[in-house]
Structure 1
Amino acid sequence: MRKYYVNGWRLGFTLFFGCFLLSELSYCLAKEKKKIEHKDARGVMIVSLNVPLRATLGNKIYVEIIVGNERTTKVTTILTVTCLTTDQIIGREAETLDGLSSHKIVYSWDTKELKEDRYVILAELEDVPGEMHLDDNVRQADIFLVP
């Protein structure tokens, strides 16, 4: 009887520690997967949007945008630059960025048909699959057009 009693305890301890090790292993694997997913949560961003604060009506204005890729892999996204005041599209194009790189884009905006006023320029990047931080995909700037 004692033999079965000792073997029962051994079996119990073996099962207990086996379950403990398996649960720790699955926890570690889930934690590692979460780290990998967090790394991929980054994406593209608009580093800067530069326009002059004040410009003369009728002249061409240069809108300069610097877009960046926070991932280590190459990504393609669409950049759209619009004037919110007039709903005019200043520029739109697909941008392919290498991993951990940035690219400068300059658009020319014709102001011949506009009047003296404050205009809001909006630059927006489409998010890439898996991107979690979308607040850096949009930038806006104001410009005052004077005669």
Structure 2
Amino acid sequence: MGIKCDVRRRRVILVLFIWTFLSIGTSYAPADEKKKTESVVHGVTIVSLDAPLRATIGRKIHIEIVIGNERASKATTILTVTCPTTKQQIGREAEMLEGLTSQKIVYAWNTEGLKEGTYIIRAELEKVPDETVIDDNVRQIEILLQQ
């Protein structure tokens, strides 16, 4: 009787193990992973935004922006560069990028008539169709203007 009990107990444990394994295994499906992957869609990005950290008032400051296309196909977007501190628009234009390429754009910011202080320069790309990753579409830097 002791042997039959051990065999039954082992069978019950085996059945519970298999049932647990199968129930855990069915909670994951490749389709679920595919849905997660499909929800992240890259598009365009601001690769870099460069300008001098300090500059002299009255001089033009060159602001260099490198934008990139993270897709394999062409993308068209609008790049806008502003100084929110003064509410100035420094530049705005449509940009067409081939797939998986980048492009450098340079603007000159006229600082004539500004006061000493710290100014924010902001570059922003409009999102492209179906793009879900948009946190890399905006960059900003600070420039200290002095006499």
TM-score calculated relative to the size of structure 1: 0.75
How far did residue 113 of structure 1 move? Answer: 1.5
Which residue in 2 is equivalent to 1:104? 104
Which residue in 1 is equivalent to 2:60? 60
Structure 1 unpaired stretches of 5+: 1-26
Which residue in 1 is equivalent to 2:42? 42
SS in 1 for 2:42: coil
Q: Tell me the distance in 2 between the aligned counterparts of 1:32 and 1:114.
A: 53
SS in 2 for 1:58: coil
Which residue in 2 is equivalent to 1:139? 139
Q: Tell me the distance in 2 between the aligned counterparts of 1:96 and 1:44.
A: 10
SS in 1 for 2:124: strand
Structure 1 residues 66-81: aligned runs within 5 Å: 66-81=66-81
Q: Tell me the distance in 2 between the aligned counterparts of 1:86 and 1:35.
A: 42
Q: Which amino acid aligns with 1:92?
A: R
How far did residue 45 of structure 1 move? Answer: 0.2
Which residue in 1 is equivalent to 2:90? 90
Q: Tell me the distance in 2 between the aligned counterparts of 1:34 and 1:104.
A: 35
Fraction of identical pairs, as percent: 62
Structure 2 unpaired stretches of 5+: 1-28
Query: How many residue pairs are counted as aligned between the two chains?
Result: 120
Which residue in 2 is equivalent to 1:9? none
